[in-house]
Amino acid sequence: MEHKYPFIPYVADRYDEAEMIRRGRAFYEHVDRRRSVRFFSGEPVPRECVELAVLAANTAPSGAHQQPWKFVLIGDQATKRRIRQAAEVEERRNYEGGRLTPEWREALAPLETTSDKGYLEVVPWIVVCFAEKYGVRPDGSRVKHYYVNESVGIACGLFVTALHTMGLSTLTHTPNPMAFLSEICARPGNERPYILFPIGYAAPDAEVPDLTRKPLREALLHFSCTS
Ligand code: IYR
């Protein structure tokens, strides 16, 4: 094919059908073991593990390949404490100050979450993902970004999966509202805090709610045109 821009050949990996299904099942069973964790051990985690997870996230497809994400890594105790304190201020307004609607409270009840975010000081690493609402050229002018939420959401999905693959645990924490993260992480106005990830090993005595996942027949609808 003729191109105006550089193109290179791409050869996707192919497997026979039995191998496709074996691989698909193995991957499904692997990701099905992932749980959101709120009880962590303070054991150190190599920084390289987090870097590899960000490299994996950075492979996500994105609108016009603009890759509108930034991952900020925090490992020092003083910043973790600041984040915990600021998150708890907001969460106390949610849980104790009546900012959560009764319907929201009811939906959250089985998770038994509270305004205590102690895990933010226990974990060896916190990563805050920021979404670039728009880009900024060196001359200060704005670059329109497309499908920012979709792109950053997919990147965060890969990030979570990569951590899980390394035997690490995390939580997609969205302390609400999250504006304090822009200030603590010193991020510019074109970047919006997207998800905060506490990262570490699950505590040996960690517990998670006994949740089930919806069955395939509810997740996958086979539509077919019968005319
Ligand atoms: N941000 C609060 C509340 C919360 C909201 C949802 I939606 C959750 O799935 C879990 C918690 C908190 O972190 O406690």
Residue 122 clears pLDDT 80, i.e. is over it: yes
User: How would you classify the pairing of strands 142-144 and 169-170?
Assistant: unpaired
* Beta carbons of 30 and 147 less than 8 angstroms apart: no
The strand pairing partners of 130, in sequence order, are: 70, 193
Half-sphere exposure at residue 163, Cβ-oriented, CA atoms within 13 angstroms: 28
Q: How far is the CA of 113 from the centre of ligand 1 (A)?
A: 7
222 within some domain: no
Whether 114 is covered by a domain: the verdict is yes
Nearest residue to 168 (alpha-carbon basis) of 127, 118, 111, 210:
127
Q: What is the pLDDT of residue 176?
A: 84
Structural domain includes residue 17: no
Long-range contacts of 119-122 (CB under 8 A, 24+ apart): 119/38, 119/39, 119/40, 119/171, 119/198, 120/80, 120/83, 120/84, 120/87, 120/198, 121/77, 121/80, 121/81, 121/84, 122/40, 122/41, 122/42, 122/198, 122/200
Q: Is 198 in the pocket of ligand 1 (CB under 6 A)?
A: no
Phi, psi at 132, each rounded to 5°: -85, 105
Per the CB < 8 A criterion, the answer to whether 169 and 112 are in contact is: no
- Structural domain containing residue 125: 37-203
212 within some domain: no
Q: For 36-92, write each residue's pLDDT tens digit.
A: 999 999 999 999 999 999 999 999 999 999 999 999 999 999 999 999 999 999 999
Ligand 1 midpoint to CA 224 (Å): 38
Beta carbon of 108 within 6 Å of any ligand 1 atom: yes
More confident residue, 144 or 227: 144
- The mean predicted confidence, pLDDT, of the chain is 97
Determine the distance separating the centroid of ligand 1 and the alpha carbon of 6, expressed in angstroms.
45
pLDDT at 155 over 80: yes
Atom of ligand 1 nearest to the CA of 173: 13
Amino acid at 100: L
CA of 220 to the centre of ligand 1 (A): 27
Q: Which of 35, 89, 90, 108 has most ligand 1 atoms within 8 Å of CB, for mutation?
A: 108
What pLDDT score does 168 carry?
Answer: 99
Q: How far is the CA of 105 from the centre of ligand 1 (A)?
A: 9
Indicate whether 209 belongs to any domain: no
One DSSP character per residue, 144-199 reads: E--SHHHHHHHHHHHHHHHHHHTT-EE--B--SS-HHHHHHTT--TTEEEEEEEEE
Q: Which helix (H) or strand (E) holds 33?
A: none
The yes-or-no verdict on residue 226 having pLDDT over 90 is no
Does residue 38 have its Cβ closer than 6 Å to ligand 1? Answer: no
- Ligand 1 proximity of 176 Cβ (cutoff 6 Å): yes
- Read off the CATH number of the domain in which 156 is found: 3.40.109.10
162-190, pLDDT tens digit by residue?
Answer: 999 999 999 999 988 999 999 999 999 99
Specify whether the CB–CB gap between 39 and 202 falls below 8 A.
yes
Mean pLDDT of 184-205: 98
- What is the rounded CA–CA span in Å between residue 123 and residue 112? 20
Cβ 191 under 6 angstroms from ligand 1: no
The residue-averaged pLDDT of 154-167 equals 99
Q: Whose CA is nearest to atom 7 of ligand 1?
A: 108
| Residue environment code for 104-114, b if the CB has 16+ CB neighbours within 10 A, otherwise e | eeeeeeeeeee
Query: Does residue 106 form part of some domain?
Result: yes
Structural domain includes residue 22:
no
**Residue 167 counted as domain residue:** yes
Q: What is the pLDDT of residue 167?
A: 98
Look at residue 227 and tell me whether its pLDDT is greater than 80: no
Ligand 1: distance of its center to the CA of 174 in Å?
7
Q: How many domains is the chain partitioned into structurally?
A: 1
User: 91 in ligand 1 pocket by Cβ < 6 Å?
Assistant: yes
What SS3 class is residue 38? coil
Alpha-carbon gap, residue 56 to 214, rounded angstroms: 27
